[in-house]
Structure 1
Amino acid sequence: MATVSPENRWSYSLTLPHDPRSARIARLTLRGAVESHGMGELADVTELVTSELVTNAYLYSDGPTDVRIKYVADDRVRISVWDRNPEVPAPFERPVVQGKGRIPEIDPEAPRGRGLRIVRLCADNWGSWSAGASYLGFQGKLLWCEVSPASVPFAVAVTA
């Protein structure tokens, strides 16, 4: 039986080495993807959340990072980042409906901890999934978020 995909469905995957330049490469790649598919209004917010997710993977994991962007529906894209550290960070640890819920406060004196908070503020929806070493021999976590044109005003406010 043949399956027909809905029109305009696309996804791209990228594997990045454990390298500080990986966040820049991911930003440019995902920006290019949304712009190439006529979704340029999402370029800035996509670039921002991608940068924060990949930077988190670089800082807290010691292996390569896998990034995926996928058109979901209704001008919404999902950005997913997989790294080899199974520990889900505090801003993503508690599932809530549609990404709504209390965002943990950050100590203003802390040298780190703002990136995933920015993702939660800018994304329409977000979540995580963790796999210990017992899951098919894999260990790591997946952090994801979804952005749409509704995300853009929040991204502008956060970066302003």
Structure 2
Amino acid sequence: MRNDWEYTLYIPHDPRAVAIGRRTLRDILTTHTLPALIEPAELLASELLTNALRHTTGPAALKLRQSGPSFRVGAWDTDPTPPTITAPTDTATATSGRGLHLVNAYAADWGWFTVNGNLGKYVWCELGTELKPD
């Protein structure tokens, strides 16, 4: 029996919603007995949601999906502009500009696509059973 599932949390354009997304993600992974994914998934969800709220003016959504051996975290926002990885920064002291660097470092895979033409974009990343090595 496969244990596939999917949840979507729609959030307003409010920076406090990132913390609500993290707590929701933690509850979902705990309920589905995936505690090893909580910390990396919280980090990645925080970065994706923060980017969605920082670079747009509309609402956003956090989508979580377990399908077979992979777990996907994604964020939808209202801006169809492609995400870009900016020039490397000192991630130890930077307060911004590290989101997609962290996604690229911790996720097994990531990508994005536009939603319904120009109604926004969906940025996703996947975690497998092990994180990428340093």
Distance of aligned partners of 1:110 and 1:87 in 2 relative to their CA distance in 1, 3 Å threshold: farther
Give the distance between the partners of 1:43 and 1:86, measured in 2 at CA.
Answer: 29
- Any gaps of 5 or more consecutive residues in structure 1? 1-5, 92-103
- Any gaps of 5 or more consecutive residues in structure 2? none
Residue in structure 2 matched with residue 141 of structure 1 by the alignment: 121
Number of equivalenced pairs? 132
The Cα shift of 1:120 comes to 1.1
Moved more, 110-119 or 58-67: 110-119
2:48 matches 1:49:
no
The Cα shift of 1:116 comes to 1.3
Letter paired with 1:44: E
List 4+ stretches of structure 1 deviating above 6 A: none
Determine which of 38, 53, 58 is the counterpart of 2:53: 58
Residue in structure 2 matched with residue 77 of structure 1 by the alignment: 71
Give the distance between the partners of 1:139 and 1:106, measured in 2 at CA.
Answer: 30
State, as a whole percentage, how many aligned pairs show the same letter: 34
TM-superposition CA deviations, 1:100-129 (whole Å, max 9, x none)? xxxx64244976311111011110010000
Determine which of 72, 95, 100 is the counterpart of 1:116: 100
2:82 matches 1:88:
yes
The Cα shift of 1:23 comes to 0.8
Asked whether the 8 Å contact 2:89–2:98 carries over to 1, the reply is no
TM-superposition CA deviations, 1:57-95 (whole Å, max 9, x none)? 010011110111000212x2111111001111213xxxx
Distance of aligned partners of 1:67 and 1:107 in 2 relative to their CA distance in 1, 3 Å threshold: same
Residue in structure 2 matched with residue 106 of structure 1 by the alignment: 88
Q: Say which structure is richer in helix.
A: 1
Q: Please, what TM-score do these two structures have when normalized by structure 2?
A: 0.88
Q: CA RMSD in A?
A: 2.1
TM-superposition CA deviations, 1:4-52 (whole Å, max 9, x none)? xx52111111000000101111111111111110110000001000000
User: Which has the greater radius of gyration?
Assistant: 1
Q: Please, what TM-score do these two structures have when normalized by structure 1?
A: 0.75
